[in-house]
Amino acid sequence: MNLSVEELLLAAAGFAAWLLIYRLSPLYRSKAEMERRAELLAFAVPALLEPKEFFELIELSDEHSHYLERHGPILKIEEILERANTGRLESFPHQGRPVHSSRWFFHEHLHLAVISALELWESGKRPEGGQFNFHFPHNIGEGYLKGTQEKKLTNLAAVIIRDGSVISAYPVLKPKTGMYRDLSRADETQSDE
């Protein structure tokens, strides 16, 4: 049997999820251990539910990209809150400064924004700072403004491309005035915030 790396990873992830679920039985574990395993499963679920988009996003990333590590759906909301208030993000090795911090709800929306920005880049569009702004017809992410405790939802996103490489892609919590390309239609619309 010849399996691709992606197929092997999916099989391993499926087995890991089954094992975690099976071992959650109260007959085998304490309540604390069950909660810990449930957290591990919840951490892995976004990648397990959207494997096609997840693997394509990995393929589109390079050594300069940080959209999955800093803004991916796999991050816990507590990590996003900590980054907004301290600059620290457990999954990223560098201590930063407090910033507006957000995460995507699903890899599917992150993937759509990245692919759309790359298509615009390849067609010759070069916005200032390489930042492509998008408007979705529904909320695609959540996060916290720098130094706050109030969670915000958003339907706006930005993708930053430099020299053809996707550097970042994140849900926008505090939009600047400008144009946002509507991903439900092909036209551009003004931000309403």
Asked whether residue 80 falls in the same domain as residue 167, the answer is yes
12 and 93 belong to one structural domain: no
Count of domains for the chain: 2
Q: Judge if 43 and 59 occupy the same domain.
A: no
Q: Tell me the Ramachandran region of residue 147: left when phi exceeds 0, alpha when psi lies from -120 to 50, beta otherwise.
A: left
| Owning domain of residue 17 | 1-49
Given a cut of 70, the residues of the chain with pLDDT beneath it are 1-50, 91-94, 185-193
Clarify whether residues 77 and 39 are in a common domain: no
- The token pair at 120 is 């615009």
Q: Would you state the structure tokens that stand for residue 177, as one six-digit string? A: 């005035």
**Whole-angstrom Cα Rg for the chain:** 18
Token pair listed for 128:
């200032």
Residue 191 and residue 177 in contact, taking contact as beta carbons nearer than 8 Å: yes
Residues 151 and 60 in one domain: yes
Do 35 and 108 have their domain in common? no
The pLDDT score that the predictor gives to residue 87 is: 86
43 and 55 fall within a common domain: no
Decide if 108 contacts 50 (C-beta within 8 A).
yes
Domain boundary among 9, 24, 49: 49
Same domain, 22 and 109: no
The pLDDT score that the predictor gives to residue 133 is: 95
Residues 25 and 112 in one domain: no
**Whole-number pLDDT of residue 23:** 46
Model pLDDT for residues 89-116, shown as the tens digit of each residue: 776 666 778 889 999 999 899 999 999 9
Q: Which long-range contacts (CB under 8 A, 24 or more apart) does 72-78 make?
A: 72/46, 72/103, 72/104, 72/107, 72/110, 73/46, 73/103, 73/104, 73/105, 73/106, 73/107, 73/110, 74/43, 74/44, 74/46, 74/47, 75/103, 76/43, 77/103, 77/142, 77/151
**Based on the domain organization, do 44 and 138 belong to the same domain?**
no
In eight-state DSSP terms, residue 75 is S
pTM of the model: 0.72
Same domain, yes or no: 64 and 118: yes
Angle CA(39)–CA(42)–CA(43) in degrees, nearest 5? 85
pLDDT of res. 97:
86
Question: Is residue 30 domain-shared with residue 124, that is, in the same domain?
Answer: no
Distance set, CA 1 to CA 4, 7, 13, 47 (Å) = 10, 11, 19, 25
